[in-house]
């Protein structure tokens, strides 16, 4: 398989298509994992107009893609980028659980599910901000 993929990755167009494909695949998989661990159903809530869920989910999307951007920008191979972005995602997921842990006065998931926009905004900002720290740390 590498005899087909590696020469393709050597061309700028092939590399762009490959990294884009990996990014979309990882985004789908990683968002599915986030969907599985939250108490609300992201896409159902977004369809209903829940802005807090939309902000929190948007922050997760940005965070995942930003981590992958750092992996690509570092000059890693596509295989290394996939590995490091997985490590980055796990750290982002841990940060999400940590956010729940450090707010004992309310449940983050419940508040976001109830369209508490302040909690949704903080969740988005944490995902975005930590993705920069994670991005430069994982390589």
**What pLDDT sits at residue 117?**
97
pLDDT, tens digit, 9 for 90 and up, residues 24-62: 999 999 999 999 998 889 999 999 999 999 999 999 999
The answer to whether the beta carbons of residues 58 and 46 sit under 8 Å apart is no
Q: Quote the CA–CA distance of 10 and 69 in Å, as a whole number.
A: 18
- In this prediction, the residues of the chain whose per-residue pLDDT falls under 70 are 1-2
């Amino acid at each position: 398989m590498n005899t087909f993929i590696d020469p393709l990755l050597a061309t700028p167009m092939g590399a762009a298509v490959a990294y884009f494909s990996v990014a979309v695949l990882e985004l789908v998989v990683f968002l599915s994992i986030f969907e599985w661990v939250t108490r609300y159903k992201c896409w159902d809530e977004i369809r209903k107009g829940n802005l807090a869920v939309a902000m929190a989910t948007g922050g997760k999307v940005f965070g995942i893609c930003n981590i992958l951007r750092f992996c690509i920008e570092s000059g890693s191979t596509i295989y290394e980028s996939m590995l490091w972005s997985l490590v980055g995602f796990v750290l982002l997921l841990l940060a999400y659980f940590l956010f729940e842990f450090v707010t004992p006065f309310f449940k983050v998931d419940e508040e976001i599910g109830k369209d508490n926009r302040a909690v949704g905004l903080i969740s988005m900002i944490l995902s975005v901000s930590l993705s920069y720290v994670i991005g430069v740390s994982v390589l």
